[in-house]
Amino acid sequence: MLIVISACTEQMPNRVEVNQSSRLSVYNSELENLIERASQYDLKPLSDSDFEVSYNDFTIRYNTTPDSFQDNLGYPEDFLCNNRGNISTGNGYGRWELSYPDFTNPDVRIILLSVQEIDENGNEYHGDTYMVGIDMMTIETHRSLRAGDTIDRVFDLYGQPTII
């Protein structure tokens, strides 16, 4: 299982650069800073609950099926009005989302990938579907990490990463 933290409140400095080597230099400096900061924390063991998220008394795990989202949470309030959650399609696959409670102000977004199938009448439908991501907009992890927390809070709660 891979945990990816895709954003935090620490903003990268705004800069406009044309020189590729300058960009690489800034990136390497920021990466070195991150590695240095991370090395100050101990490794912490992860438990099964670190790979779960609870929303409206429903526990989402890495192997939660799309049907169980719909069975336990229903469809988002404005699912049909938002093109059934379609994000993109191509090469025989469709990427779509379930945003709860709605697409306008989601607490959580479940990102799904489906094989696009065609029935005998030529209608497209979602074949095999897999959860590929969760955006936890307002809910927190088992250890109380929330969107917007700093990278240092991530290190405090989860310890030193094994890979940066």
Tell whether 87 and 103 lie within a shared domain: yes
Q: Is 20 helix (H, G, I), strand (E, B) or coil?
A: helix
Tell whether 32 and 56 lie within a shared domain: no
Tell whether 97 is covered by a domain.
yes
Tell whether 17 is covered by a domain.
no
7 pLDDT higher than 70: no
Tell whether 117 and 60 lie within a shared domain: yes
Tell whether 37 and 74 lie within a shared domain: no
Tell whether 64 and 104 lie within a shared domain: yes
Tell whether 97 and 122 lie within a shared domain: yes
Domain range spanning residue 43? 22-47+150-158
DSSP 10: -
* Span 70-121, pLDDT tens digits: 899 998 888 877 777 888 888 999 999 999 998 889 999 999 999 999 899 9
How much is the pLDDT for 10?
43
How much is the pLDDT for 81?
79
Contact 115, 126 (CB under 8 A): yes
DSSP strand E in the chain: where? 53-55, 58-60, 86-90, 93-100, 108-118, 124-136
Number of domains in the chain: 2
Q: Is 44 buried (19+), middle (13-18) or exposed (0-12) by CB count in 10 A?
A: middle
Tell whether 43 and 55 lie within a shared domain: no
* Span 10-57, pLDDT tens digits: 444 444 444 566 677 778 888 898 889 999 999 999 999 998 999 999
Tell whether 67 and 111 lie within a shared domain: yes
